[in-house]
Homo-oligomer: A and B are copies of this chain.
Amino acid sequence: MALFVGRYVNKIDKKGRVSVPKPFRLAFVEQSFAGLYAYPLFKFNAFEACGEDFMERLSNSLEDLPMFSDEQDDLSVILESAHRLPFDPEGRVALPSEILKATGITSQTLFVGRGRRFQIWEPKAYEVNRGQAFARAKARGATLQLRTPPKREGEES
């Protein structure tokens, strides 16, 4: 299991904790850090979450850029805005107030699988956005060019 798929709605308790869906948690087992990293999305009032390996990757990519460059500074916003959220023994995380405020989450949290990462939404906000995206895609007659399947070792072209 390595992919985040599907949507799940879980409650937030008085302490601000919310259970991360079990299927999602399973994708974290091979990580050195038992928890997730959440960073804000630019386009939506929602957060995206990933594991430590992705964060390392991001950090290393930033290191390739020249130190003190604008480029590095701008991209570093992700690292700066990220929250490190450890799982409690029951697989819950405590959502910091910044996330609650930015997403509008109060009583329920929506987890949206996105493959390698997943998103965290306020359920109704997601519905609205999803409706709009669907309408746009419909109006546009949206098409998608699928990428050629990635080649693994030992495979012919």
A79 at interface by CB-CB < 8 Å: yes
- Contact call A77/B137, Cβ cutoff below 8 A: yes
- Contact call B80/A130, Cβ cutoff below 8 A: yes
Given A74-B133, A77-B137, CB of A82 within 8 Å of CB of B144: no
User: Once bound together, how far apart are the Cα atoms of A148 and B62, in whole Å?
Assistant: 10
Main secondary structure of the interface of A (DSSP, over half): mixed
| Assembly stoichiometry (copies) | 2
A75 at interface by CB-CB < 8 Å: yes
A11 at interface by CB-CB < 8 Å: no
Q: Which residues of B contact A128 (CB under 8 A)?
A: none
Residue of B nearest to A32 (CB): B1
A101 at interface by CB-CB < 8 Å: no
A90 at interface by CB-CB < 8 Å: no
For A80, give its contact among B6, B33, B59, B73 (CB under 8 Å): B6
A113 at interface by CB-CB < 8 Å: yes
User: Once bound together, how far apart are the Cα atoms of A43 and B84, in whole Å?
Assistant: 27
- Contact call B57/A134, Cβ cutoff below 8 A: no
For A56, give its contact among B3, B33, B60 (CB under 8 Å): B3
- Contact call A5/B37, Cβ cutoff below 8 A: yes
Residue of B nearest to A37 (CB): B5
A17 at interface by CB-CB < 8 Å: no
- Produce 1/0 per residue, A81-103, CB < 8 A to B: 11110000000000000000000
